Amino acid sequence: MKVYAGMDPRIPLREVGEYARRVEAMGYDGLHVAETVHDAFMVAAFALEHTDQLVVRTSVALAFVRSPLLTAYAAWDLAVMSGGRFQLGIGTQIRQNIEDRYGMPWTAPVSRLREYVDVLSALFHSFRTGERMHHEGADYRLTRLQPYFNPGPDESIAAPQIWLGGVNPLICQLAGERAVGFVTHPTNSNPRYLETTCIPNLLVGLAAAGRERRDLELVVGLQMVTGATTAEIDTERDRQRRLFAFLYSTPAYQRTLELYGWDDLGPRLRALIRADRWDDLANVVTDEILDTLVPAATYREVPARVRERVGALADGVLLTPPPDPRHDVLVAAAVADLHAS
C-alpha cells in the first residue's frame, strides 16, 4: 500500500520546503497539496524544489476557477522542473464556493469536468508534439495556441498524470473513465461508503472505458485521530470533532451520514451555521458518530487500523504526520509497515 502525507492547509509558504523534506525523510510515497488559502500550484512548486524523490500531487486544485490552459501551463512547468514527480489532481468544489467565494460561473459539473480533462489531455499532447490545438465544446473553446505560446514541443517530457477527487457517484464514474487515479474526500473515505458507492461507480466508469481495476489507483483520504499518547489523541480528537462538524454541514457530503442513519445531523449543523453559532457545531457530533467515522489509534496501532478499515479496498492511503516532528520515527515506522501491505 502506498502512503501519502497531507499538509496543514494554512502552513506558511516559507515552511513548505522544510515540511516536504521531512515527509520525504519519513519514507512517504508522496505529498498531497490542498487548495484552501494558498494557490495549490505555488505550494507544490516549493515542495518539489526542496525534495528529490517525493511525488507531489495537488489534491485537489480547483478546475472551474481556472482556464484549462493556465492549469496545463502550471502542471507542465512543475512536471518539467521536478523530472516528472508532479501529478495533477483536480476537482469541482461545490457550487456556492465557485460562485460566491471565487466569483466564477457554475455549469453542470460532471460534463464540464469531463470536458476539462479532455482539454488538458489535448493541451499536453500539443505541448509534447507541437500539433495544433483545437477544441470547441459546451463549456470551453480553445482554438489558438501559436508556437510562441507553446512551451514545447518536447516529446521527452511525459504528460502530467491527471487525477480526480470528489464525492458523488458520477464523479467516481468519470474518474474510472478518464483518470489515472482517484482521491476520496475525508467524508467519503469510510469502508461503508467505499463499498456501496465509491468503488462500484469507479468500476462502472472503468468498464465504460474498457479499463481494468488495476488501471486506476484509489487513494483513500482516511480520517483518523492519531497520537503517541492518550493525551495527544484526546487533543487531536477535539480538533477532528470540530473539523468533522464543519465538513458534514455541507449537503454534498450527506451520503455518508445517510448510510449510517444519521440523516438529521447535516440539517442541524446547517441550522447552527445559519444562526452564526459556529462554536456550537462540535457539540452536535456525538462520541458514537465520531468514533464510527474517525477512529483513533496510536502511531504503533495505525497500520493495523488502516488495514482493518481499507486494506482490502484501497491502493493508497492518506496519513498526515503531526505538526511536531518529535514523533517522526514512530510515523516512519507506520509508513514502512503499511508499505508491506
Cell matching residue 69: 490552459
The one-letter amino acid code at 167 reads V
Residue 323's pLDDT is what? 85
Rg of the chain's alpha carbons, rounded to an integer? 20
Q: Residue 208: CB partners within 8 Å, gap ≥ 6?
A: 173, 176, 177
Q: What is the phi/psi pair of residue 91, to 5°? A: -155, 180
DSSP label at 198? I
Q: What span, in angstroms and rounded, lies between the C-alpha atoms of 159 and 339?
A: 27
Query: What's the whole-model pTM score?
Result: 0.95
**pLDDT single digits (tens) 107-129:** 999 999 999 999 999 999 999 99
Nearest CA to 309 out of 184, 191, 185, 223 is that of 191
- Residue 213 in contact with residue 203, Cβ under 8 Å? yes
Residue 234's pLDDT is what? 92
Nearest CA to 172 out of 180, 184, 160, 162 is that of 184
Q: What span, in angstroms and rounded, lies between the C-alpha atoms of 262 and 239?
A: 21
Cell matching residue 246: 464543519
- Residue 219 in contact with residue 182, Cβ under 8 Å? yes
Which strand (E) or helix (H) includes residue 172? helix 169-178
Residue 58's pLDDT is what? 99
DSSP label at 283? G
What three-state secondary structure class fits 100?
Answer: helix
Q: What is the bridge-based pairing of β-strands 135-136 and 141-142?
A: antiparallel
Residue 33's pLDDT is what? 99
- Residue 128 in contact with residue 159, Cβ under 8 Å? yes
The one-letter amino acid code at 197 reads T
Of 78-82, 236-240, 326-330, the range with the lowest mean pLDDT is: 236-240
Please report the sign of the dihedral spanned by the C-alpha atoms of residue 250, residue 44, residue 320, residue 9.
Answer: negative
**pLDDT single digits (tens) 216-255:** 999 999 989 999 998 999 999 999 999 999 999 999 888 9
Where would I find the beta strands (DSSP E) of 59-115? 61-62, 86-91
Q: What percent of the chain has a predicted confidence (pLDDT) above 90? A: 94
Instruction: Kindly compute the dihedral angle of the four CA atoms of residues 73, 74, 79, 82, in this order, to the nearest 10 degrees.
Output: 140
The one-letter amino acid code at 141 reads R
Tell me: pLDDT of 31 over 90. Answer: yes
Yes or no: domain 2-226+295-339 corresponds to CATH 3.20.20.30: yes
- Residue 69 in contact with residue 103, Cβ under 8 Å? no
341 band by pLDDT with thresholds 50, 70 and 90: confident
Alpha helices, DSSP H, located in the chain: 16-25, 40-49, 68-82, 95-96, 109-129, 169-178, 191-193, 199-208, 230-247, 254-259, 265-274, 287-293, 302-310, 328-339
Residue 253's pLDDT is what? 87
Q: Residue 138: CB partners within 8 Å, gap ≥ 6?
A: 107, 111, 112, 115
Residue 324's pLDDT is what? 86
83 band by pLDDT with thresholds 50, 70 and 90: very high
Please report the sign of the dihedral spanned by the C-alpha atoms of residue 198, residue 163, residue 338, residue 248.
Answer: negative
The chain-wide mean pLDDT, for the chain, equals 96
Residue 252's pLDDT is what? 84
Please report the sign of the dihedral spanned by the C-alpha atoms of residue 112, residue 114, residue 119, residue 124.
Answer: positive
Q: Residue 99: CB partners within 8 Å, gap ≥ 6?
A: 105, 106
What three-state secondary structure class fits 288?
Answer: helix
**Residue ranges of the domains in the chain?**
2-226+295-339, 227-294
